[in-house]
Structure 1
Amino acid sequence: MKSYIKGANPYMPLWEHVPDGEPRVFEYNNEKRVYVYGSHDIEKDKYCGRNYVVWSAPINDLTDWTCHGVAYETQYDSVLYAPDVVKKNDTYYLYAAERCGSLVVVASSKTPWGPFENPVETKLGFDPGILVDDDGKVYAYWGGCAAPCYIAELEDDMATIKEGTLVENPLGHSTCPWNPVDDGHISLIDAFFEASSPRKVMGKYVYIYSKRYEKPIPELGIYEPNNGFLSYRFSDSPFGPFHDGGDISFNGGEILKDADGCGTMTYQWGNNHGSIMEVNGKWYIFYHRQTGLNEYSRQAMMEPIEVAMGADGKLYIGDVTFINGEPISSKPVEMTSQGPQINGIDAYSWISAGYACHIFGSKKRAYVRPEYDKKEDISTPIVDITDGTTIGFRYLQFGLNTPESVTVILEEAKKVQVKVRIDSYRGRIVSILDFDGTSKEVTGKLTSGIIGKHAVYFEFVSENKEESFTFDRFSFNS
């Protein structure tokens, strides 16, 4: 019997909705694991929820995630926004964003998964990010679009701001609809929006944050204000000054380019939050994407990245270009379906349509439908597919022997033709499946071989231009 894919992108189960993920590698009981601490989209009609859960995976297998359950419950009868967790000495400290991020408390635990208890109120603010430096000093970073970002050193109690250390607005912050007036802090160049996450990389202090672009970025398909990025700046000091870095991640899906180099997004972008982490010798960016028709059912995503230091001391993070071994530029890494499965998803397992990173061409607004039923074999279908829609997955692994056929399952039996393409949404057709309206499952023979790693696309073709379809899952067959 075929198994369902897990540990791809999103890397947590499809029923889980943990955005704002801050990854940390901690060693506990002689075992190193990567832990992810984020908010928890369980309210369904608003951001986040009233508890934090913790997930972890062994550092040598980032497809094998375990939920440790609830680590912290709200102490103020409020929704909890993005947290952070650090370790100092033998204690783990959770910075919980109570009251929708307007009150930050620090709770503690002797284990990385909690429960975190004895919360103490702090003077930190929205989206706290904490850095424990090599010398044991602790720095807090925070802020949001309605106010500038801040940096301060903390006292040994991990809660109190050390007198004389508060730095205001080290990056400059962006405009936004609810903060349209220039108050002396506005900066539209490398503009900070929210999601502070400080890290120490190659001796540099790296400020990772969500950037809001006010100007068009045609090559990425951006023609209006957009804050779907995770970006970075770097410094030789925890307080700055911070030098230009770049963009690491963008959650707008595969970017289609025209002949002039202008792009089109293929996934519904939305707010972004996360950070970078070196896991077992390789670097990753942890971020989130949107599902549903709003930003209230986000999912945890990850991609491998490159980190390199130039001869001039500039730090490059993301998709790095090298010439003669020297880094010269970087750009956002692509958004994929594979995530930590860097050799590609097993094409011969059941693959939920919900792993798509390309949803393009619907006359409605096709989207991944959120599911919350905690089942191993859960699928998150894509709904509101219409004639001309393509659904893409990057990437699948076919191995050394070509499959004989492909099976596609719809949620409802309807009349539609599905063309299976590889490498591009306009690429070579390897199978055509005709649904006659009597069955929701059809298997089609492959007309040409596929081996190795490829992107795969499903094009829906219908004579009824108003009809919509729901794509549940698929699998290739040997």
Structure 2
Amino acid sequence: MKYRELAFRNFTTVFTLIILLTPKTALAQNPLIIDQFTADPTARVFNGKLYVFPSHDIVPPKGEGRAEWFNMADYHVFSSENLTDWTDHGKILDQKDVPWGDPTAYSMWGPDAVSKNGKYYFYFPTRIKGAANGEKGFSIGVAIADKPEGPYKPQPNHIHGVEGIDPNVFIDNDGQAYLYWSRGEIFGAKLNDNMLELASEIKTFEEIPQKGHIEGPFVFERNGIYYMTYPHVANNTERIEYGVSDNPMGPFTHRGVVMDESASGTWTNHHSIVSYKDQWYLFYHDNDLSPDFDKNRSIRADSLFFEDNGNIKKVVPTKRGVGVTSSNSEIQIDRYSAKSNYGAAAVFLDRLDPFQGWKMVINKPDAWVRYNRVVFGKEGPKEVKLKARSLTGGTVVLKLAGEDQKEISRVAIQKGGNWNVFSAPVEKEVEGIQDLIVQLKEGDGVEVDWVKFN
């Protein structure tokens, strides 16, 4: 039996929770994972399923790691078939299992994973045993598995000649694999067919902007165009930029920005871009679960689109994220698609335990919140339930977000300070995929945890 340590840093106080660790499914919007900190997500499609390989931010045991800095000791892998239900397959690699790595470095930073030759290759950076602090002490290793979820066996040596972090592997249509990484600049080289050694001279991509910090390369191909994407501090914090080329080794011509600097002020952003079931997605991170400490981050995903000429349309972060939500699950309306400009706000259920998630506070008459892409069964629901509370009592109206905003139910929230589940009949027929509006019609304020249809 294994256990996962969950930690949250709120200024100088650390609250540590221990929960049972078994492969499990969690419903999520943005952030995708809410029971632990995750960052630097690489998304890959294996066997018709989408897998995400992130790094794992933690607060290390007392006296270990680096206070007030990034601390990562291991990796998990998550998978989903619908981008809504995510399964945690557990820990796939620990710093103590890396033969060449420093087992006390807490520097298992952004990884990648690819499939070739019937095997799965997991690429990760960490500090070499005996190396001094700093990026020059890093190299990139490989762990190999027979399945995407592992178990992964780390190789005895790191990749010779590679000094740096943030590995990214791109396999071209002809089967040739390329390794990219960063250390102040972005570097790249061909990989041997064994996926463990360099097969060419190392190239420095000097055409990538040199002013300001740069890291985290991610390369992909679409319609014959090769895209080099990367986080770059052009102003204050990292934004995601990109260049294009007709060759995976460049040169790359700068084209623009994929995602602007985070509104939260989180200094880093580290990403991947993947096509899944005919839709492109950007996976990235922010500090949703740790607003006071941006070294504890959480992975996110939003849809990505292209112009006709191949340029990437800028992605605007959302709380709603991607995927559809079943009407008979607990719909977390605090991960809204839109809301009124007054009287509606998402806040933590418990500021000291962010892994509990959020609630929606609606405290002005006619204030509303909209949650997109709820899928209803063919028969349609008969009842709606709200987990809610209100000190004064109130009435909540549920509508569909069509032109006529058809009202489908009214739920009376009784006066009281404790959370309760309130129900009401669904008065109109509802089927298919709908956008839902929750609106306060009577009362001075209602807090809503979730909405569910039966």
Could you tell me which residue of structure 1 aligns to residue 318 of structure 2? 335
**Pairwise CA distance, 1:128:** 2.1
Q: Which range moves more in the overlay, 98-107 or 77-86? A: 98-107
Classify 1:421/1:54 alpha carbon distance in 2 versus 1 (closer, same or farther; 3 Å): same
- Measured in 2, the distance between the counterparts of 1:456 and 1:56 equals 27
- Measured in 2, the distance between the counterparts of 1:365 and 1:461 equals 16
- Measured in 2, the distance between the counterparts of 1:350 and 1:251 equals 32
Residue-pair matches, total: 397
Q: Deviations over 1:378-427 (max 9, x none)?
A: 994425947358654223234566656543213x6633545556539xx7
Retained in 1: the 8 A contact 2:40–2:269?
A: yes
Could you tell me which residue of structure 2 aligns to residue 73 of structure 1? 94
Q: Percent identity?
A: 22
**Pairwise CA distance, 1:106:** 1.0
Classify 1:438/1:8 alpha carbon distance in 2 versus 1 (closer, same or farther; 3 Å): closer
Structure 1 vs Structure 2 CA RMSD:
4.5
- Measured in 1, the distance between the counterparts of 2:385 and 2:206 equals 54
Classify 1:421/1:368 alpha carbon distance in 2 versus 1 (closer, same or farther; 3 Å): farther
* SS in structure 1 at match of 2:140: strand
- Measured in 2, the distance between the counterparts of 1:455 and 1:285 equals 22
Retained in 2: the 8 A contact 1:170–1:239?
A: no
Retained in 2: the 8 A contact 1:8–1:337?
A: no
Retained in 2: the 8 A contact 1:337–1:356?
A: yes
* SS in structure 1 at match of 2:207: coil
Could you tell me which residue of structure 1 aligns to residue 35 of structure 2? 15
Q: Deviations over 1:170-216 (max 9, x none)?
A: 320xxxxxxxxxxxx327xxxx74331112322322112235564xx
Classify 1:444/1:37 alpha carbon distance in 2 versus 1 (closer, same or farther; 3 Å): same
Classify 1:155/1:449 alpha carbon distance in 2 versus 1 (closer, same or farther; 3 Å): closer
- Measured in 1, the distance between the counterparts of 2:286 and 2:423 equals 31
**Pairwise CA distance, 1:362:** 8.5
> Normalised by the size of structure 2, how large is the TM-score?
0.69
Is the aligned partner of 1:51 residue 2:74? yes
Classify 1:7/1:104 alpha carbon distance in 2 versus 1 (closer, same or farther; 3 Å): farther
Retained in 2: the 8 A contact 1:234–1:315?
A: no
Could you tell me which residue of structure 1 aligns to residue 20 of structure 2? none
**Pairwise CA distance, 1:34:** 3.1
Is the aligned partner of 1:350 residue 2:330? yes
Is the aligned partner of 1:442 residue 2:436? no
* SS in structure 2 at match of 1:96: strand
* SS in structure 1 at match of 2:164: coil
**Pairwise CA distance, 1:39:** 0.5
- Measured in 2, the distance between the counterparts of 1:356 and 1:476 equals 17
* SS in structure 2 at match of 1:81: coil
* SS in structure 1 at match of 2:55: coil
Retained in 2: the 8 A contact 1:20–1:274?
A: yes
Retained in 1: the 8 A contact 2:216–2:231?
A: yes
**1:70-109 maps to which residues of 2 (within 5 A)?**
70-75=91-96, 76=102, 77-79=104-106, 80-99=108-127, 102=135, 103-109=138-144
Could you tell me which residue of structure 2 aligns to residue 165 of structure 1? 202
**1:358-437 maps to which residues of 2 (within 5 A)?**
366-368=346-348, 380-382=356-358, 385=361, 387-388=363-364, 391-398=369-376, 406-410=384-388, 414-415=391-392, 417=394, 418=396, 420=398, 422-423=400-401, 431=410, 433-437=412-416
Is the aligned partner of 1:203 residue 2:214? no
Classify 1:297/1:437 alpha carbon distance in 2 versus 1 (closer, same or farther; 3 Å): farther
Q: Which range moves more in the overlay, 233-242 or 243-252? A: 243-252
**1:303-342 maps to which residues of 2 (within 5 A)?**
303-306=302-305, 310=308, 314-317=309-312, 330-332=313-315, 335=318, 337=320, 339-341=322-324
* SS in structure 2 at match of 1:186: coil
Classify 1:402/1:140 alpha carbon distance in 2 versus 1 (closer, same or farther; 3 Å): same
**Pairwise CA distance, 1:437:** 1.6
**Pairwise CA distance, 1:351:** 2.0
- Measured in 2, the distance between the counterparts of 1:169 and 1:360 equals 46
Retained in 2: the 8 A contact 1:406–1:444?
A: yes
Retained in 2: the 8 A contact 1:208–1:231?
A: yes
**Pairwise CA distance, 1:371:** 11
Q: Deviations over 1:21-61 (max 9, x none)?
A: 212233xxxx5543321112343986463110122345xx5
Could you tell me which residue of structure 1 aligns to residue 6 of structure 2? none
